[in-house]
Amino acid sequence: MLRAFVPLGIFALIGGVLWSGIGKDPSLLPSPLINQPAPEFSATTLEDPERVISKTSLLGTAYLLNVFGSWCITCRYEHPVLMDYARKGEFKIVGLNWNDTREDAKRWLAQFGNPYEQIIFDADGRLGIDFGVTGAPESFVISADGRVLYKYVGALSPEEIEKRVKPLLAGGAQ
């Protein structure tokens, strides 16, 4: 009687679902902003509280937006990689200083180096929320026309930059 095979069939489905989950990282969160325009923002720079930096002012060149903070331990591991690429001048890196104070951030950059062409100062963290940031370090590839092409959670490695970041930056350069 075929009906008796139903439990086995259901079990096969469940097994398939479980199998599909193995090896995947359940906490990996894809960004809903991919291929969408980046959020509008207008903030001050870290170095100069008078100078304004906005999404419009950054249009025209594709860049890597890197979220960091002086409180972020993992950022220290990522920083040498960014410093290296900044020295090589291969692409533009813009920093987003998230949930920090000017003094702490400047001190941190003085200690660990400053790879950023420009740094957005986001003291109350609202810009980070607009970007869907959940912690630091996180990085975004923004195209020349202001779209979010890519999001990476965690410390960027040279492999990741070579394989994903640089090609996207090249592709989003117009």
The residue within the footprint of another protein, chosen from 117, 118, 125, 147 (CB under 8 A), is 125
**Residue with Cβ nearer another protein (4 or 110):** 4
Helix-helix angle 73-88:102-112, to 10 degrees: 60
Query: In Å, how far are 25, 47, 65, 70 from 116, measured between CA atoms?
Result: 31, 11, 9, 15
Q: From the list 60, 129, 158, 170, which residue makes contact with another protein (rule: CB under 8 A)?
A: 129
Q: Give the SS3 label for residue 162.
A: helix
Q: State the nearest-atom distance from the C-beta of 108 to another protein, in Å.
A: 17
- Asked if residue 89 binds another protein (CB under 8 A), the reply is no
Interface stretch with another protein, choices 40-48, 88-96, 101-109, 131-139 (CB under 8 A) = 131-139
Size of interface with another protein, in residues (CB under 8 A): 37
- Cβ atoms of 62 and 143 within 8 Å: the answer is yes
Q: Are 150 and 165 in contact (CB under 8 A)?
A: yes
Over its C-alpha atoms, the chain yields an Rg (Å, rounded) of 20
Q: Which region among 58-66, 84-92, 105-113, 124-132 touches another protein (by CB under 8 A)?
A: 124-132
> Does 110 help bind another protein (rule: CB under 8 A)?
no
Contact status: 99 vs another protein (CB under 8 A):
yes
Q: Of the ranges 10-18, 54-62, 106-114, 157-165, which one interacts with another protein (CB under 8 A)?
A: 10-18
18 binding another protein? (CB under 8 A):
yes
The C-alpha atoms of residue 126 and residue 131 are separated, in whole angstroms, by 9
From CA 25, how far away is CA 38, in angstroms rounded? 26
For position 74 contacting another protein by CB under 8 A, the verdict is no
Helix, strand, coil tally for the chain in percent (to 5): 40, 20, 40
- Over the window 133 to 152, marking each residue x when it contacts another protein by CB under 8 A and - when it does not, the resulting string is xxx-----------------
